[in-house]
Structures are given as structure tokens and as C-alpha cells.
Amino acid sequence: MVTNPMAVMRRENARLQEENERLNEELRNLREFVHILNDLTQSAKNVTSDTELLPLLERIFMKALGLVNAPDGSLMLLDDETNELVFVVVKGSLAANLIGYRIPADEGIAGWVIKNAEPTLVRDVRRDPRFSQTIDEQFTFRTQSIAAAPLIGDRKVYGVLETLNQPGDEPFSDSDLALLGLLCRFAGEALADIERMHPERA
């Protein structure tokens, strides 16, 4: 069988074009990530009171969702006294229900992230034994995929940020998780800095 050289070239050109588009998208994401960090670094420097902390967390959270193109998500902080995770920022249909809602700090994907102090990616939660259906069942929601990362600063876990249900056949990528993990690391260090400046909050 004689191979058609023009067909081979067309396939190779299509492959190279697809690879180039992927690399360009990754480059755009990295540039956006650097811009986000610069912006948030300046914002963190201006936090001098409790009333300014929540807006900073909201900005970090919204930047994270935009970075990984997720329509839903939540940012939870760890309450050391009760060993619970408290929903402080939520985006999506459950926002009104979940603000202030608490779950055990060892429950579900978020609990695993807190316990292991590392990010995780779950493209199909129904296939993952770590997933807890408590919130889905209580509030009639359907979680499909999760990318989650801990907020860690000065070796202390402050909370966890979860992004949910990225659209597409293959939701969330390893690159998404890496960027999310780095952003949450920044958030954790910002919280640690604020705690050092205001020890009465610890």
C-alpha cells in the first residue's frame, strides 16, 4: 500500500496546529495567573481589619473560578475549635443556602484535602469513595467534578477551595489543578501573614 504524502502532511499539519493551540492556551493561562498573583499581592498588603479579610478571600475565590472556568465552587475555612469546615464564600445555585453552613472537617473530598494538605482532582465524583453526598442530597444539587486545593500558610492548613463542574467531556486538567494549588498556596500564605500581624485573630 502506497502512502499518500499529501494526506500525511495534512494530518501532521493538523496535529501541529492543535498542539500549537494547546500551548498558546497554556501560555495565556500562565500570564493570567501571574497577573492575578500581582493583583492579589497588592490587595493582601492592604488588609488591616477583619472587614477587609472577607473581600480578599472573595477576590481570590472568584479569580480561582475564572482561572479554571468553573461555574460553581466554595471556599471553606477550618474552625479549629469545632473541627468543622465553614462555607464563607460560595458561587452557584447553592450560594444562599451554604454561606455559614458547616460540615465535619474530615468529611468528603474537602475533608481529604484538609487531612492530607494536598490538592486533588476528581473528574467523576460518583466513582470516588471519598465523595460525600450530604450536600447534594440536602440541597438537591448534582456535583459532577471537583478540583480542590488546601489554603496552606506557614505549614498551617486554613481551609480549602473547591471548584465544581467544569463543562466539557474531560472536566479539569492537571494544569488546572496545578494553578489552583499555587493560587491557594498564595491565599494560605496571605492568611498566615495577616495572622502574624494580628495574633489576636489566631
> What's the per-residue H, E or C state across 45-111?
HCCCCHHHHHHHHHHHHHHHHHHHCCCEEEEEEEECCCCEEEEEEEECCCHHHHCCCEEECCCHHHH
Measured in whole angstroms, the distance separating CA 163 from the mean position of its chain's CA atoms is 5
Per-residue model confidence as pLDDT tens digits over 60-103: 899 889 888 899 999 999 999 999 999 999 999 889 899 999 99
- Give the distance from CA 173 to its chain's centroid: 12
- CATH of residue 111's domain is 3.30.450.40
The total of structural domains in the chain comes to 1
Segment 1-56, tens digit of pLDDT: 556 777 777 887 887 887 777 777 767 766 776 776 677 666 666 666 666 778 88
Higher pLDDT, 131 or 3: 131
Calculate the average pLDDT of the chain.
Answer: 86
pTM for the structure as a whole: 0.78
Give me the domain span that covers residue 139: 5-201
